[in-house]
Structure formats: structure tokens, C-alpha cells
Amino acid sequence: DSGVTQTPKHLITATGQRVTLRCSPRSGDLSVYWYQQSLDQGLQFLIQYYNGEERAKGNILERFSAQQFPDLHSELNLSSLELGDSALYFCASSPGRTLYEQYFGPGTRLTVT
């Protein structure tokens, strides 16, 4: 158990819908990262937050957004969902701004039908 929690574990929704994925980092970790893992794209970095502020952006679509709240939990919002958004979404956390070691949550499996 990494100490990072993600909810929900599974999510099934229809095209065009909007969903919110939630992540609670390890106690004391200030940085949260979001990744998308799919068979065709592999593991793709989406976005990083540090202590409530966006620090780095990766291959995140405009339809996707994220935020980190004062209690340090983070939410990833996916809107206007398409079939191709079906994937495993991971959250990871680390103690600081460095990316030395990230602790990954168990992931949320999103299925868009």
C-alpha cells in the first residue's frame, strides 16, 4: 500500500459525459501527479500540482482539467468524454517539487461506452 488513495476504482460512463476522479496523496506529500495509461499510448504524464499550484503540464487535453485543494487532495475532471479516453488514470504523490520518487495510487479504470 503506497498510501495514495484514488476513488472511484472503476467508472463506466457514456460519450459526452463528464467525470471527476479523486486522489488523496500520502500524508505529508505536497506534490500530486496525474497519469493516463492506455494500451496504445502507454503511460502518459498529464499534469503536476505542488501545494495547490500547477507546476508542470504534459499531454493533457483541453477537455481535461485538474486542481489541488488546500487539504492537498486533487481532482481530475474529464469532460466531453470520447471512446478514446477509456484508460487507467493514476495519481502519484511525492514529498516535494522534486520528481525523485513518486508513490502511485491503485488507479481509476475509466470505461467510456
Partner 1 sequence: AQSVTQLGSHVSVSEGALVLLRCNYSSSVPPYLFWYVQYPNQGLQLLLKYTTGATLVKGINGFEAEFKKSETSFHLTKPSAHMSDAAEYFCAVSKTSYDKVIFGPGTSLSVIP
Site for partner 1 in 71-90 (CB under 8 A): 90
Q: How many residues are given for the chain?
A: 113
Rule CB under 8 A: say whether 30 interacts with partner 1.
no
Q: Are strands 108-112 and 10-13 parallel, antiparallel or unpaired?
A: parallel
Cis link prior to 8 (omega < 30° from 0)? Answer: yes
The size of the interface with partner 1 (CB under 8 A), counted in residues, is 22
Rule CB under 8 A: say whether 97 interacts with partner 1.
yes
Rule CB under 8 A: say whether 27 interacts with partner 1.
no
Cell 487507467 locates to: 88
Please, what is the minimum distance in Å from the beta carbon of residue 15 to partner 1? 26
